[in-house]
Amino acid sequence: MRGSVSATLGKGDTWDHYGGWLLTSRIGSPTFKPDEFGLFALAGKIQNTRGTFNTDGNLTSVYRVGADWIHKHRELWKATNQISGGENKPHEAGERFVLGVHNSLEWYLHPKWTVGITHNLRYEHLYGSNSNRQTTGTLLGTISYAIGRDTRFRVNPFFEYRTPSDDHHSGVLFQLCFGCGLTR
């Protein structure tokens, strides 16, 4: 089981932590193989404060199932590709179907340090509406330090864009991740 605690600091923002949480679980091929294939599920409450769907700073309940493929090149780098589908249930707005694609590259610089880049693309559609659709893309950089064998502290500068509104948002996400990767 994996979990994380995070807080976001964006341009012009003060330190905000809304008490979000996210749990993930994955079953699949063994982690020591160069190519891993798996299925995963996740559930939690996360901050969603930008865009037309939720601007009140309340938490959004999220539920997803998906599949992934991870390729590792020895202990030098790894690539992760995921596709998932599920629901978002914002605090005071209607439920949405969500389809997401996640691609990332991570390089191991030292047994405890990694750097990476990630691109997430998410399509949301409000149930019962033909016009309330939104596509969100997020580009994240990552600097990660292994505190212990299965705990990492991550700093993730990000740039988020939305269509059709062309709204942009940037900031830094601080994350403490449990069970999210061993030191090499």
Residue with structure tokens 């809304």?
18
Instruction: Please check the confidence at residue 154 and state whether its pLDDT lies above 60.
Output: yes
Query: Is residue 167 situated within a structural domain?
Result: yes
pLDDT at 46: 82
- Cα–Cα distance list, 71 to 31, 84, 114, 182, 184 (Å): 10, 18, 16, 16, 16
Query: Is residue 183 situated within a structural domain?
Result: no
Query: Is residue 122 situated within a structural domain?
Result: yes
- pLDDT tens for each residue of 45-100: 887 644 434 445 578 899 999 999 999 998 899 999 999 999 988 866 778 899 99
Whole-number Å distance between alpha carbons of 157 and 144: 12
Q: What is the CATH number of the domain that holds 157?
A: 2.40.160
Query: Is residue 125 situated within a structural domain?
Result: yes
Whole-number Å distance between alpha carbons of 139 and 121: 9
Residue 11 belongs to what domain range? 2-178
Query: Is residue 131 situated within a structural domain?
Result: yes
Count how many domains the chain has: 1
Whole-number Å distance between alpha carbons of 112 and 181: 11
Tell me the whole-structure pTM to 2 decimals: 0.72
pLDDT at 2: 46
Query: Is residue 103 situated within a structural domain?
Result: yes
Of the pLDDT bands very low, low, confident and very high (cuts 50, 70, 90), residue 37 is very high
Query: Is residue 184 situated within a structural domain?
Result: no
- pLDDT tens for each residue of 111-123: 899 999 999 999 9
